[in-house]
């Protein structure tokens, strides 16, 4: 019997790392894998768990870039010849545990340069992230803060959503300060004001600190595109 397996790009990468016996490291909730600005000679690939990457501005505010909740390369913004070895972002573990493959940056790029399939993975990785980022930029620039919150809530469905009878349960706890950091809102109380409006309009409910999205169409209508 022949079983034909078609691997996705990321599955191929994970297999490759496993076969090359790349070491794994495991980190606990709310610890940091990397700090923005610190020198770092490793590339990390998330195996399982949930992480958030963010940037701390000079004035102390935190800009949240993204959650990553499935296997993915954490950051490829530096390549083998980049003069800067600064980590571009903070990476904080948001699940109880997260596991990462840890490869020397130079070794990682050796793998890539020797393997056309991995080259293709990297090309697609960049193109996909760039495309997502342009879209997000558009959404953030062309909407007010309410639109930003609605867009953010909408994006949570794809990341953490589970369909239940009366809508979509976001099966992950997101605080008002988190939302503020993603949407560029100045305080948790401002976030709360908007969330209150959404609750009053029957768009969302909160149960055990988790959002339930009851009216996806309302969210979409708030997002310019």
Rule CB under 8 A: which residues touch a second copy?
A: 55, 57-59, 61, 63, 65, 76-77, 79, 88, 119, 122-124, 126-127, 129-131, 133-134, 136-138, 140-143, 148, 182-184, 224-225
Q: With contact defined as beta carbons under 8 Å apart, do 45 and 97 qualify?
A: no
Binding mask 165-204 for DNA (x = CB under 7 A): ----------xxx------xxxxxxx-xxxxx--------
Q: How many whole angstroms separate alpha carbon 144 and alpha carbon 209?
A: 25
Closer residue to DNA, CB minimum distance, 157 or 191: 191
Which of a second copy, DNA, none binds 138 (CB below 5-8 Å, type-dependent)? a second copy
> Distance from first CA to last CA of the chain, Å, rounded?
50
Neighbours of 6 (CB within 10 A): 6
What is the smallest separation between the CB atom of 171 and a second copy, expressed in angstroms? 26
Specify the residue, 67 or 121, whose C-beta has the smaller distance to DNA.
Answer: 67
Q: Could you tell me the smallest distance in angstroms from the CB atom of residue 151 to DNA?
A: 12
3-state SS assignment for residue 106: helix
Closest CB to DNA among 120 and 187? 187
DSSP state string for 171-208: -S---HHHHHHHHT-S-HHHHHHHHHHHHHTTSEEEET
> Rounded to the nearest whole angstrom, what is the least distance from the CB of residue 84 to a second copy in the complex?
10
Beta bridge partners of 53: 66, 91
């Amino acid at each position: 019997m022949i079983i034909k397996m078609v691997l996705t790009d990321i599955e191929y990468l994970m297999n490759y790392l496993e076969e090359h016996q790349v070491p794994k490291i495991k980190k606990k909730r709310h610890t940091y894998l990397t700090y923005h600005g610190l020198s770092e000679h490793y590339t990390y690939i998330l195996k399982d768990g949930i992480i958030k990457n963010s940037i701390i501005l000079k004035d102390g505010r935190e800009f949240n870039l993204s959650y990553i909740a499935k296997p993915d390369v954490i950051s490829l913004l530096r390549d083998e010849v980049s003069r800067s070895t600064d980590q571009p972002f903070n990476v904080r573990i948001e699940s109880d545990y997260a596991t990462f493959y840890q490869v020397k940056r130079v070794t990682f790029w050796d793998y890539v340069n020797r393997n056309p399939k991995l080259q293709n993975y990297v090309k697609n990785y960049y193109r996909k992230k760039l495309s997502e980022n342009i879209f997000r930029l558009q959404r953030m620039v062309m909407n007010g803060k309410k639109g930003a919150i609605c867009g953010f809530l909408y994006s949570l469905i794809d990341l953490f959503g589970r369909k239940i009878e009366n809508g979509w349960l976001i099966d992950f706890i997101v605080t008002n300060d988190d939302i503020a950091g993603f949407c560029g809102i100045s305080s948790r109380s401002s976030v709360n004001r908007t969330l209150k409006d959404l609750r009053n309009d029957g768009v969302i409910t909160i149960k055990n600190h988790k959002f339930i999205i009851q009216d996806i169409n309302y969210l979409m209508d708030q997002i310019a595109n």
